Amino acid sequence: MIVSASERERRAWLAAVVVTVLATLIRLLFAARLPLFPDETYYWEWSRRLAGGYFDHPPMIAMLIRAGTAFGEPTPLGVRFFPVIAGGITGLATSAIAWRLAGGMASVRAAVLFALMPLAATGLVLATPDSPLLATSAVGLYCVVRALQSTVRSRSSLRWWSAAGVALGLAFTSKYTAILLPVTIAIAVLARPSLRARLREPGPYVACLLATLLFLPVLQWNAAHDWISFRFQIQHGLGAANGSALKRELDLVGGQLGLVSPIIFALMAHAAWRTLRRPLDDARFALAVVAVGSWVFFAYSATRRRGEPNWPAPSYIPGVVLLAALASTAGHARWLRRGVALALVLVIVLYVHAIVPLLPLPARRDPLARNAGWSGVAARVDSTQRLLVAPSTWVGADRYQDASELAYHLPGHPVVMCTCLRGRRNQYELWTSFADTARVGDALVLLLDEREGVHETSAALAPYFSNVTRGELAPLLRGVDTVSVRRIWVLENYRGGWPARDAP
């Protein structure tokens, strides 16, 4: 039976959809099994206080978590449900771009590559701002590609530019690094003569206007809070240089090899560079500029500040597309299969290790153990709180991560205070503090890192309470292995007042 070309394309696209749906279902199952990490409970705390912005990021992740937890007790699956669905949207949009550029088999390759990259297979299980950022960026790039494939000044072009503007505005409300998407597209338009004709049509300007309108609530929130979120992120990524620039660059590259897998990373870099030098069309050139330009920015950022491995993640959407769409030789296809196989092995190992520790890593040094033991610690804190006699008894911690984990795991999910006297600035400082809420005579059960002798935070708070007692140890355990150790301190009979925060 002879199958027509259109039928082959339809079947290939269906295969890409099936791969993406299956990958999303696996992430959902894993998301339900895995306890929440401290950053996730921090964003869950945001979702209980919806606002136009937060100290660290725009509000999209809080809105997604709120949608998943609005109708019952918060669970790991509820917190992560819509972020995981956003990851599925990213995979579909990435495959759709590849299909537009090079047909059905390219869409299948893109679906498989994206599904098996550790960045997506594990990172998009978690409720972090990267999930909505990647989804909106991928949809935005698809719309840009459709606009560039449309005739200049046509109705189709205007529609797709408008859709790109909406996606870009939603990307801005997900994470501030979304600004790299319009910046790199603008660079591509200015750098290529055939693309400069786009500056004579209304579409790009309509896209910018729509994106700004959607971003306006975040701008208003920042204006009302002295632009605190913008100032923090600029300092966080481009602040004064510290430490070894070479070490930071090596850490950045090493992080990418782990998140993407070494072979796929090298193949994507080759595909992006090859496309940049000899683009077959405007859309491919724009995607190559987005991929390379975004990555170059974070490489520059690493010369000044230590970055997180996930920061360049949006650059891998066009990277996957260009790799999937690249006309391959037999040798190239062989290396692509090896890259997929290696990525699959890495993902399986990470999945198994997250549930049943497999790798020979001490719990104290294993980043996948940071979510372990919090229910036990919360139970100890709750028992201590129930024994106290006071007008009101409050619970607190000196780190925002610890405060949010306690709020999630304590019965009834109470308000937990963050003393935040030292360490990184955070959203808790913008919410009502203990000194603003508590009354004279109240008690505070405080979770602190274990120290020899008196903890500096308990010493700083001692003048504001009549009695400060060193309570029991509260170790964070993964099975029988200790991840880290906290101690419960009991501060009774609040006198009023509060110490000043140390400089960050």
d(CA 428, CA 2): 65
Over residues 216-239, the mean pLDDT reads 90
Q: Using alpha carbons only, what angle is made at residue 27 by residues 53 and 166, rounded to the nearest 5 degrees? A: 40
Over residues 5-9, the mean pLDDT reads 86
Number of Cβ atoms within 10 Å of the Cβ of 25: 12
Query: Model's pTM, two decimal places?
Result: 0.95
Say how many residues make up the chain. 504
d(CA 16, CA 12): 6
24-53 pLDDT, tens per residue? 999 999 999 999 999 999 999 999 999 999
Residue-level pLDDT at 1: 62
Over residues 195-220, the mean pLDDT reads 97
Q: Is 151 helix (H, G, I), strand (E, B) or coil?
A: coil
Residue-level pLDDT at 422: 84
389-413 pLDDT, tens per residue? 899 999 999 999 999 999 999 999 9
**Contact predicate 97/126, CB 8 Å:** no
91 CB-contact burial (10 Å; exposed 0-12 / middle 13-18 / buried 19+): buried
pLDDT of 235 higher than 70: yes
292 CB-contact burial (10 Å; exposed 0-12 / middle 13-18 / buried 19+): buried
Number of Cβ atoms within 10 Å of the Cβ of 411: 10
Q: What are phi and psi of 171, to 5 degrees?
A: -65, -40
Spatial strand order in the sheet of 465-478? 417-418, 393-397, 443-449, 481-494, 465-478
253-309 pLDDT, tens per residue? 888 888 888 999 999 999 999 999 999 999 999 999 999 999 998 888 888 778 788
The 3-state secondary structure of 351-382, one letter per residue: HHHHHCCCCCCCHHHCHHHCCCCHHHHHHHHH
Structure-model confidence comparison of residues 356 and 42, the more confident one = 42
In terms of DSSP bridges, do strands 481-494 and 393-397 run parallel, antiparallel, or are they unpaired? unpaired
443-486 pLDDT, tens per residue? 999 999 998 888 999 999 999 999 999 999 999 999 999 999 99
Over residues 334-342, the mean pLDDT reads 93
Percentage with pLDDT > 90 across the chain: 80
Bridge partner list, 446: 396, 489
**Contact predicate 438/444, CB 8 Å:** yes
Using alpha carbons, select from 480, 180, 167 the residue that is nearest to residue 314: 180
Largest Cα span, the chain: 88
**Contact predicate 451/343, CB 8 Å:** no
d(CA 61, CA 498): 32
Distances (CA, A) of 178 to 105, 114, 173, 181, 227: 29, 20, 9, 6, 18
- The whole-chain average pLDDT of the chain stands at 93
Residue-level pLDDT at 28: 97
Number of Cβ atoms within 10 Å of the Cβ of 363: 20
Q: What are phi and psi of 431, to 5 degrees?
A: -95, 175
Q: Using alpha carbons only, what angle is made at residue 43 by residues 39 and 45, rounded to the nearest 5 degrees? A: 115
Residue-level pLDDT at 339: 94
Residue whose token pair is 């009991």: 490
Residue-level pLDDT at 457: 94
